[in-house]
A and B are shown apart, each in its own frame.
Chain A
Amino acid sequence: MAKVVLKLGDDISTDIIYPGRFMATVLPTETPQYAFADHTEFNARLKKGEIPPGSVIVAGKNFGCGSSREQAASCLKGPDLVVVAKHFARIFLQNSINLGLRTVICPEIEAEEGDELEVTADKVINKTSGKSFDIVPLPKARQAIIDAGGLIPYTRQRVLAGKK
């Protein structure tokens, strides 16, 4: 069970998730401090450690559209958040899979801030409203990367195997 800590609309761009003015900060260990920097209340709660790992951000269509900046994924991976969205923009989804940020594609999701969600293998169950919603699986091409624990360990295996 996890609580919805942020509810967002459609087309949330990487400029909202991680504003461009903080892009000189690149290391995954340092990016979480600027997550949703212009959502000052949420950002303050995140920095104070008031948001437990596994908490959920719920969003509409095309989450993560815009820039390829990987900080937008690493800043949410650091505090171990989960993003449930109707669907994701391509590069953001890829970055999330590569870094191991948990993303859930749930086209019909209905949830409000404060709702308790349970994410199973194929459904998101909103315990607060009693409704459940089907999950669309992540692209099959990506499963091997997910299974390896992210792209760095996956590529490391390839490098070690000498399969160039």
Chain B
Amino acid sequence: MGFRCRQIGKVYPTGDGGVRALEDVTFSVAPEEFVSIVGPSGCGKTTLLKIIAGLIAPTSGTVEFPDGANGDRPRTALVFQEHGLFPWMTVLDNVAFGLEMRGVARPERSERARAFIEKVGLAPFARSHPHELSAGMQQRVGIVRAFVSNPRVLLMDEPFGSLDAQTRLVLQDELLRIWKDDRKVVIHVTHDIEEAVRLGDRVLVMTGRPGHILEEIAIPLDRPRDSSGGIAPQVAEIRWHIWKILESDVRKGLWIPE
């Protein structure tokens, strides 16, 4: 088993009883599974991700990782939407940061970081600072930084959310390419339904107030999930299905009557 979330709930305390951000979120993930979580803004996706990462504690429920002998692998690594890279470090130091924090000596961590930087074709920029790179290049650095520490679970919070539509498509394929060489559990959070269906082995559909999982949809399609006319018809069909689940929720959020 990859890991399991059991009845996770999160309440943010306020004056009148608190805001219920998450309620009864339960799912388990198989080893090497790519799970996409899709839902509108404010449905608690990011909160869930931070709970899995151990950055915030759930009010109730548990995240269970199986005990393994692989003690020097971190449980999780995070990829953020933007500003995830440290602007004061070179690309190389950014990618090696997780290893540095785990006490890996400089020669070894530089070598491992360099290998991943080369894998995404950014070797000429190893000594550059993030501000010298385009947003798409920065995001590739963010992705390999998460891969290089070899976490058991890779957590991605809207990793392509700030990129233009074309760059996003290319980087989705790039992510799949890296992941195929180096399989691990991925929890990928997005509000882009098509992205979720293009990438995930399984899609968890979430809605808010309080955040909970409405439906789990397995995507038993081979990748890449494109056809000559664009996305494959099956993908379009599932996308439509998910949109119909979410539409009324989104309309309610915007106060648009059905």
A binds B: no
